[in-house]
Amino acid sequence: MRKIIVFTGMILFFGVSFSLAQEEITITSYYPSPHGVYDSLLTDKLGVGDNDGVGGLTSADVPINTGEVWIAGNVGIGDIEPDGKLEVNPDGLEDNGDEFVVDSSGRVGIGTTAPGTARLTVAGGGVVVGSPTGGDKGTGTINAGAVYDDDTLLTDYVFDKYFDGKVKEEDLEKHRNYEIKTLEEMAAFIEKERHLPTMINRKEWEKEGKASLGKLVTQLWETVEIQALYIKELKEITMEQQKEIDKLKAYRNADR
């Protein structure tokens, strides 16, 4: 009877040992477990959620490359209910204007959790780029050290056409048929159309949704150069008229 008990005890001992060893392997393979609190965690890659979208958790939900983190759901930093794929809330308070959010469409909101249709929406303040004087100018403004717009173009073709009768080769593609209105034509045009021929008109303004800053700068640049030519012509006319006046004065003085 005693031998049987000992044998049985040995069986139970080895059985428990085997079970414990099995459990230890399981914990090690899947560490950390989905539930629990850890003081520190170190891993070379991490997958959270059903990243491949096929349902369930498999090895396909874990990053391939070292240093990567894949997260299927939303990420909240300082926020337990993130409104987008990523939300950063510095003080942990909801909707108080200091949030940073990236929604599921990749749109970014700063100071708002609802970026709308724009790729970037900034609310509650302006945007400061670089170190311009004056700092933040308020909601809806941009203050920058400089702004470069590809719609801002040189208008050398104005003077080239006037003095040389043709535009240079680099301007042929856009201004091959460029013509400058005479002063009389300009006066007739603005009286009829009620806008300068070199500037965007109301219909174009409304159709295009206003105009870019660069486009307006280019149009104003061209307008100023044309007006400089009109001033030149008016000066020449004035000089000729002055000559005639001087002749008349000399003729009158000679009769005295």
Answer whether 76's CB lies under 8 Å from 85's CB: no
Answer whether 126's CB lies under 8 Å from 142's CB: yes
Please indicate, yes or no, whether residues 161 and 251 belong to a single structural domain of this protein.
yes
Q: What is the pLDDT of residue 35?
A: 64
Domain for residue 239, yes or no?
yes
End-to-end Cα spacing for the chain: 164
Instruction: List, as one string, the DSSP characters of 57-118.
Output: --GGGS-SSTT-EEESS-EEES-SS-SSSEEE-TTS-TTSS--EEE-TTS-EEES-S--TTS
Please indicate, yes or no, whether residues 141 and 175 belong to a single structural domain of this protein.
no
Please indicate, yes or no, whether residues 225 and 194 belong to a single structural domain of this protein.
yes
Please indicate, yes or no, whether residues 105 and 24 belong to a single structural domain of this protein.
no
User: What is the span of the domain harbouring residue 116?
Assistant: 74-147
pLDDT tens-digit profile of 71-105? 888 888 888 788 888 888 887 666 666 788 898 88
Q: Is 156 a residue whose pLDDT tops 90?
A: yes
pLDDT tens-digit profile of 9-30? 443 334 444 444 444 433 344 4
Least confident of 71-75, 150-154, 162-166, 200-204: 71-75
Among 147, 169, 193, the domain-final residue is: 147
Please indicate, yes or no, whether residues 218 and 130 belong to a single structural domain of this protein.
no
Please indicate, yes or no, whether residues 204 and 231 belong to a single structural domain of this protein.
yes
Tokens 């005295």 appear where?
A: 256
Measure the CA–CA gap between 122 and 100, rounded to whole angstroms. 9
Model pTM? 0.62
Domain count, the chain: 3
Q: Is 62 a residue whose pLDDT tops 70?
A: yes
pLDDT bucket at 167, cuts 50 / 70 / 90: very high
Domain for residue 50, yes or no?
no
**Residue 129 DSSP one-character state:** E
Please indicate, yes or no, whether residues 114 and 171 belong to a single structural domain of this protein.
no
Domain for residue 57, yes or no?
no
